[in-house]
Chains A and B, each alone.
Chain A
Amino acid sequence: NAGVMQNPRHLVRRRGQEARLRCSPMKGHSHVYWYRQLPEEGLKFMVYLQKENIIDESGMPKERFSAEFPKEGPSILRIQQVVRGDSAAYFCASSPLPGGLSTEAFFGQGTRLTVV
């Protein structure tokens, strides 16, 4: 059973371009979480999805950011019109049940986005 797969591992975008980050959860996991981590800082929650539904998006910036977790395929975090401040590591996690309850969440290795 492969772990949580994120791709690409590194992504470079010019200001104004779009960034698409993909996350394939572990097999059988229907709960997906996205986090952002700036250098030397902790992980900041962005969004929590459960197949085709957004459960909690309280950490998502109001503009330019969106996330989806379709019935088939990976979860996608999409950043439109990227700016330098979007440069960060983006981590995805998955769990078979809500991760804050009686289960563990598994994290991917992250996508490091650099905006030039």
Chain B
Amino acid sequence: DAKTTQPNSMESNEEEPVHLPCNHSTISGTDYIHWYRQLPSQGPEYVIHGLTSNVNNRMASLAIAEDRKSSTLILHRATLRDAAVYYCIRGGSQGNLIFGKGTKLSVKP
């Protein structure tokens, strides 16, 4: 059980920002929120993770709600190479990563 909820698919235009939402209403205080993405025919790739504070890295930003029941992955300027399935994952207490169905992001030129 992934215990996260994401839209099945989203569309974006190239060079525009993309906000990918994720609900994790049953998250516990010590569960990290991870985002991975999977490009076609490739293995998943780490994007970002966080616990309570918003996080930024070279790929994206992660905005975590104050109550931690939801988060949003932000791609500041989508490119065609960002077309992928994006997975929002709650890190389990055993240290495992349980993937859900993810959001398939399409980027239009």
Contact = CB atoms under 8 A, between A and B. Distances in A.
A101 B99 contact: no
B43 A56 contact: no
Contacts of B91: 99-101
B21 interface: no
Contact of B43 (A55, A101, A109): A109
B16 interface: no
Contacts of B44: 43, 91, 93, 107
Given A43-B99, A55-B95, A110 B43 contact: yes
A1 interface: no
A109 B39 CA distance: 11
Interface residues of B, number: 28
Q: Is the interface of B mostly helix, strand, loop or mixed?
A: loop
A102 B48 CA distance: 11
Interface string B29-44: 0011010101000111
Nearest to B102: A42
A74 interface: no
B94 A104 contact: no
Contact of B95 (A48, A104, A108, A109): A48
A104 B36 CA distance: 9
Contacts of B95: 31, 48, 55, 97-101
A110 B42 CA distance: 7
Given A56-B96, A100-B96, A104-B34, 7 more contacts: A99-B95, A100-B31, A102-B49, A102-B51, A104-B49, A107-B43, A110-B42
